[in-house]
Amino acid sequence: MVLEAFRSRLINRRQFAGQLSAAISIAATSPLLGQSADRPSPWDPIAFGACGDGRANDTDALQRTIDACAAKGGGIVALPAGHAFLSGTLILRPHVEFHLTGGSRLLASPNRDDFRTLGALFFAKDSADIHVSGTGTIDGNFPAFFPPKGPEGYSVPQPFLGPYDPLYDSSFRNPPDGRPRMILFVNCRGVKLESFTIRDSPTWTIHTVGCEDLHISGISILNSLDVPNCDGIDIDHCRQVRIEGCNIVAGDDCLVLKASRNFGEYGPSEGITVTNCTLESSSAGIKIETEGPYPLRSAVISNCSIVRSNRGISFLNRDGATVEDLLFTDLIIETKMRAIKWWGSGEPIAVSSLPRTAGGSAGTVRGIQFANIQCRSESGIYLRGMPAAPLRDISFRGVELSIAKTTPVDGGFYDMRPGDAFGKSGLDKRDTAGFFAADVDGLRLDDINVQWSGTIPSYYGAAFELHSCSNVLMDELTGQAAHAKQAPMLLKKVSYAKNLTSPCSPASP
């Protein structure tokens, strides 16, 4: 099995609660601000003409400060406490730390034209040693970029401004109603983002493309749960990435690992570690979706808590990419179904590899491990490959799954959007199993418990349901069907790696 080397590191499920309580310690302010003989005082934008009153546009003064600091070899540009600076795009320079002192605020200009050239509040390209720090706040000013909220929520303007669009070709870029990202770094090395807060981003909050040696620690992203496309952090074609101790609330996906279609020159996304984060989303807490044909590999996501989200882990392969060697371990996942406009149907974990359009390539998904995971959800775990391109070498060990209906949103389906594999709706309409898998080669299920509670809808079904799965190994599976007359396990076209030893009795539908 792929990733066999990881197995010796996985903890027993019975130790999970104690080990998950450990958290990293994040410094409250940057030590670089301490004055000493070899550390000069920070550069003050007010000395360069900034007003800092939250009304005058301070873009030019802030940029002059950054450029002057860089011209002297680098240093710290610090926003003073008690001031708000209204700004359009700021280009960060090598060896400059932009510090948001506690009590300071950087406010995104409400004018789209202030971001149209580069598409973000903070921007850097082909740069190195960039640092944004402090305990102040970046305010994305999202109401300026949306029409008033209607009875069905917000209508959705186009997601991006500027030339660095991850998805659309040049004829669709820079639309009249696009929205700025808060941080966009392209092909940068040695990037640090630490301790500050970003709130109310109008679209993707942090987007890093083709970056290497990226460290994001202790930041908070507090976006509206009603705003579409306001992802927390999108890691795109990046390598050597560490994300730790972050708190993210976002209407759209909190953390996204991708290798999107318009940046293929920057190679795969690989060597990524995410740990000790708390996540809440109207869509997915963690999303894996390349949105292009480029590889994504070698990532570890551990010790995270996902709460009140429409989907816990959303793993979508739609564009022919190879996604391999990922480990998800020591997680707590709580899901609650949201309105159908948000992708997901309460699944704590959903993994699928399907072509985006008819005749397209499904790509390859292999070597994915889930271990020591506690789920409290409205739906079950869902795996879906294709007969010609099954998911390969997928394992689950030490999973507690408690399913209960907790919202009035109708269920009875799994959400496979985007794509047309299940028709225009994109929904796989069927009874909800505790654990469902179809078209998987090399499936290991070990020490998994499924429980149902509360009012049980008619569409809740078997504890385990497998279709067209080969080389299956199952051990210590426990749980009953949701309703007394149902079989606890439904199996169709299943072959085994060795004898089935589960307490559940197999039954054909």
Q: Write out pLDDT tens, residues 92-141.
A: 999 999 999 999 999 999 999 999 999 999 999 999 999 999 999 999 99
The whole-angstrom separation of Cα 476 and Cα 209 is 43
Structure tokens at 360: 């397209």
pLDDT in tens, 310-334: 999 999 999 999 999 999 999 999 9
Same domain (yes/no): 4, 90: no
| % residues pLDDT > 90 (the chain) | 81
Same domain (yes/no): 203, 348: no
The whole-angstrom separation of Cα 310 and Cα 377 is 9
Same domain (yes/no): 269, 299: no
Q: Is residue 283 part of a domain?
A: no
Closest alpha carbon to 187 in 126, 104, 120, 108: 126
Confidence (pLDDT) at 52: 98
| DSSP letter (8 states) at residue 153 | B
Q: Is residue 34 part of a domain?
A: no
What CATH number does residue 99 fall under? 2.160.20.10
Same domain (yes/no): 226, 342: no
Q: Is residue 29 part of a domain?
A: no
Same domain (yes/no): 6, 67: no
Q: Is residue 30 part of a domain?
A: no
In the structure, what pLDDT confidence band is assigned to residue 12 with cuts at 50, 70 and 90? very low
Closest alpha carbon to 421 in 273, 298, 318: 318
Position of tokens 């085994």?
A: 496
Same domain (yes/no): 271, 357: no
Same domain (yes/no): 300, 448: yes
How many structural domains is the chain composed of?
2
Quote the pTM value.
0.90
Same domain (yes/no): 67, 208: yes
Q: Say which residues have a Cβ less than 8 Å from residue 449's Cβ, sequence separation at least 6.
A: 399, 400, 401, 477, 478, 479
Confidence (pLDDT) at 38: 57
Confidence (pLDDT) at 23: 31
Asked which of 275, 309, 338 is the last residue of a domain, the reply is 275
Q: Which residues pair with 409 in a beta bridge?
A: none
Structure tokens at 265: 């020159």
Residue 488 structural domain = 1-23+293-509
Same domain (yes/no): 73, 203: yes
Confidence (pLDDT) at 14: 39
Q: Is residue 314 part of a domain?
A: yes
In the structure, what pLDDT confidence band is assigned to residue 498 with cuts at 50, 70 and 90? low
Asked which of 218, 241, 275 is the last residue of a domain, the reply is 275
